Amino acid sequence: MFIVIKRINEKLNYIINKFNIDTLLISFSGGMDSTLLLEIMIYIKNTINSNLNIKAIYINHKYFIKNSYILNHCIKYCNNKKIILYIKDILLKKKNNIEENLRKLRYKEISKIINKNEILLTGYNKNDQIENIFLSLKRGKGIKSILIRELTSIYNFKIFRPLINLSKLDILNYSKILNTSWIEDKSNKNLKFDRNFIRYKILNILNKRWPGFLNSSYKFLYICDLYENVLNIYIKKIINNLINKKDKSINIFLLNIKNINLTKIIIRIWLEKYHNLYISYYDLIRIYNDIILNDNPLSTLKIKNIILNKYNNTIYCIKNLNNNLKYYKNIYIEKINKFIKLPYNSGIIKISDNFNLIKNYIDNYNFLFHRIRKINNKEIIIIKFNNKNFFNSKIKYKIIGFNNKKTLKEIYSIFDIPICKRNKIPMLFFNDKLISLIGYFITYEGISRNIDNEWFLIYKIKNL
């Protein structure tokens, strides 16, 4: 027992020092696992590290009826141990994927109160790991979703699972040694929840048939993790040559799509690493068939809250905010020398009549700029965004560097701007005259003919 506590303390010290942690936030349900975890942390504080600051949080799942007795137990327990206890209520409205959606709600609620110098500790253990294998099989997910690591991050906070190498039997024995008192949650016996069904109807039978099944399964996870890590090292070297670091798009022209399995793995890792998107095998098949193999050079696919767009053999991953942001409203600029924020935090611009006022932003904050003419007394300044009327318009504009006038659709093609980005690039107009496609060019209508008639348009636009 005390060897286990020593090992946990060593790992805890490493985490505290590496990430500058000053407070442990224990996810406390009053059950056996979280109670042992809390007792171990209290023991470490009292005997090894008196500087530990320990708090606890209880998430009240209002999905379950008559759980007030659990809440009262947790309050009493923490009061006796002189531990600060946060109590947060969550209400699940969705009727499907109950366990998964409750987990997401828990972490979202915790993210609202946890500070950057705090870390969440949970009672996740070896049995939970094995149950996760069956849950992942049922959901059709890959190896990465099966193995839950000892230290991870979610919603911008870190989670440490000190009991991850302990079985349920270990936890029971150690709980008896420390003389802990816990409470049984009746919902943990409800077989309509997938994890409970796996625990009581599948794993109990397997463990009775093969007493070493738990440890063998854990070894299997370790081997899978080993292969996954080696594969990721190899794949990431390939991906680095395919990714545009600026907009995180991937070039499939350089991808050997004849090797189906390699292509699927590369796409999966690209979405996970660069877009924090974890997809099912079914969605991976859809991407391969509907985007990569699709002869349409402008194919599109929606998955979860993102949209994948193919353009000129490049796949772009765009967050699907408000139906792909549709079309932005016009922004009317009444005063110059004032920063204007663009919609959805997509960038910032400023028109100035004094270069010295903006030079600092250009030199030190990576702003870029266009030289443009001033407005006359009959013009107003408008920032517009592409919409269907613009895109289909036959109006032609003469831009610097080209002899012939071009429609906006032709201009987008010349500058190789993918369709998924076209409604997000701001356009500067003086009345109905296009002055600049900001970040790309200015038109002849926007040229400054002399210094006295000169303004400066500075900008920082995301993913140009």
| Domains, in order of start, for the chain | 2-214 (3.40.50.620), 240-319 (1.20.59.20), 331-461 (no CATH)
Q: Residue 178: what are its φ and ψ, rounded to 5°? A: -85, 0
Determine the Cα–Cα distance for residues 145 and 141; give it in Å rounded to an integer: 6
Work out the number of other CB atoms within 10 angstroms of the CB of residue 127: 22
pTM of the model: 0.65
Q: Which residues contact 202 (CB under 8 A, 6 or more apart)?
A: 134
Angle between helices 168-177 and 126-139 (to 10 degrees): 150
Q: What is the full per-residue pLDDT of the chain (464 aa) written as tens digits?
A: 778 999 999 999 999 999 999 999 999 999 999 999 999 999 999 998 888 899 999 998 765 555 688 899 999 999 999 999 999 988 777 667 777 788 888 998 999 999 989 999 999 999 999 998 888 888 776 666 677 889 998 888 999 999 999 999 999 999 999 899 998 887 788 888 888 999 999 999 999 999 999 989 988 888 888 888 888 888 888 888 888 887 888 988 777 666 788 888 889 889 988 888 888 888 889 999 998 888 887 788 888 778 888 888 889 887 754 444 444 678 888 888 889 888 767 789 999 988 888 888 888 888 999 999 999 888 999 998 876 566 667 888 898 888 889 888 888 888 888 877 787 788 899 998 999 999 899 999 999 888 889 999 999 887 65
